[in-house]
Amino acid sequence: MLTNPILTEASAQFAADVRRGLTQVGQKELPSKYLYDALGSRLFEAICELDEYALTRADERLLRGNAREMVARIPGPMVVAELGSGNGRKARWILEAVSRNRPTSYYPIEISPTALAMCRRELADIEAVSVVGFEREYLDGLLEVASRRQPGRRILVLFLGSTIGNFDRPADVHFLREVRRILQPGDALLLGTDLEKPIDQLIRAYDDPLGITAAFNLNLLARINRELDADFIIEQFEHEARFNFDTRSIEMHIRSTRDQIVTVGGAGMSAPILENETIWTESCHKYTVDEVTAMAATADFYCDAQWVDDQWPFAESLLVAE
């Protein structure tokens, strides 16, 4: 029997997205943002420690080694906003550089309250930085930051960890345009992008031998069970990472190992899932440095500088609003 209990606004949106994704004709899919509940966020932290997943360490090496130069390229006082802050660890070097000479405000923007709480704890020791988190979607949170702008202050937006790669092309450029519309000339966006590399290396990064990425991906089904009264039998699904040559992206899927019918009471629906049918949960597009520069120009930014890691091809690009 299907049930549809009274849901909070966030839960209702979750239910609507699950219903839409599981009843979609052709490829079933679920938005990647729902991977990051409390358990998912912790599993992702564990992924970042894996030898196979060196993206995060490359990101952090570039920030740690170049934060002062990055900040110095933006004249005058500023506030820092981060889209998808996670635990806030990567923002630390930027915040320490910005707050060396004056106190500053940091606005982490996250849909995960767990991640925001972790972020506040992570950065509590930087006395010159005040942390004000927004539990919002990226653009809604950035609009709130912009509305609080004091005269003469620039906004530095951090979009790190190659999260831009989760957008399909050309949705990635469209998103950069939306960010640019909120900013003023002279504001800046520090954009992290994972660069192209051998396919076998990418597959190992998204399908590690310890199975932590698999647990991270399959936890999405467990979350739907917990929060939306679903009856996914987790043991009847498996994680799959594949490379899409047309889009130059790694895709994460959840594959059904048998024919089955899944009921999601909180979404008021049931869906048949065939053996070997997959639920697409995330795409991770890979770029070239020239491609990043071209994307920036299309979105009315100019690329002021780029830093590229020499151990794991990854780039930080400082894009300034024109």
Q: Alpha-carbon distance 299 to 321, whole Å?
A: 9
Residue 87's pLDDT is 86
Half-sphere exposure of 114 (CA within 13 A, CB side): 12
Percent share of the chain, pLDDT over 70: 98
For residue 163, what are the CA distances in angstroms to 5, 46, 56, 206?
A: 33, 17, 11, 15
What six digits make up the tokens of 37? 């509940």
Residue 6's pLDDT is 56
**Cα 296 vs. chain centroid, distance in angstroms?**
19
Residues 6+ apart with CB under 8 A from 97: 67, 68, 70, 71
3 state SS of 208: coil
Residue 2's pLDDT is 52
Domains contained in the chain, CATH given: 9-30+200-285 (no CATH), 55-197+287-321 (3.40.50.150)
Q: Where are the alpha helices (DSSP H) in 188-306?
A: 199-206, 212-228, 289-298
Residue 1's pLDDT is 44
Q: Alpha-carbon distance 123 to 88, whole Å?
A: 7
pLDDT in tens, 76-131: 899 999 999 988 889 999 999 999 988 999 999 998 888 899 899 999 999 899 99
pLDDT in tens, the chain (322 residues): 455 555 678 889 999 999 999 999 999 999 999 999 989 989 998 999 999 999 999 999 999 999 999 999 998 899 999 999 988 889 999 999 999 988 999 999 998 888 899 899 999 999 899 999 999 999 999 999 999 999 999 999 999 999 999 998 899 999 999 999 999 999 999 999 999 999 999 999 999 999 999 999 999 999 999 999 999 999 999 999 999 999 999 999 999 999 999 999 999 999 999 999 999 999 999 999 999 999 999 999 999 999 999 999 999 999 999 9
Half-sphere exposure of 12 (CA within 13 A, CB side): 5
Q: Alpha-carbon distance 38 to 219, whole Å?
A: 10
Q: Alpha-carbon distance 33 to 294, whole Å?
A: 27
Q: Is 173 exposed, middle or buried (0-12, 13-18, 19+ CB in 10 A)?
A: middle
For residue 115, what are the CA distances in angstroms to 53, 97, 122, 253, 302?
A: 20, 23, 10, 24, 31
Residue 86's pLDDT is 85
Q: Give one DSSP letter per residue of 109-127, joined into a string.
A: EES-HHHHHHHHHHHTT-T
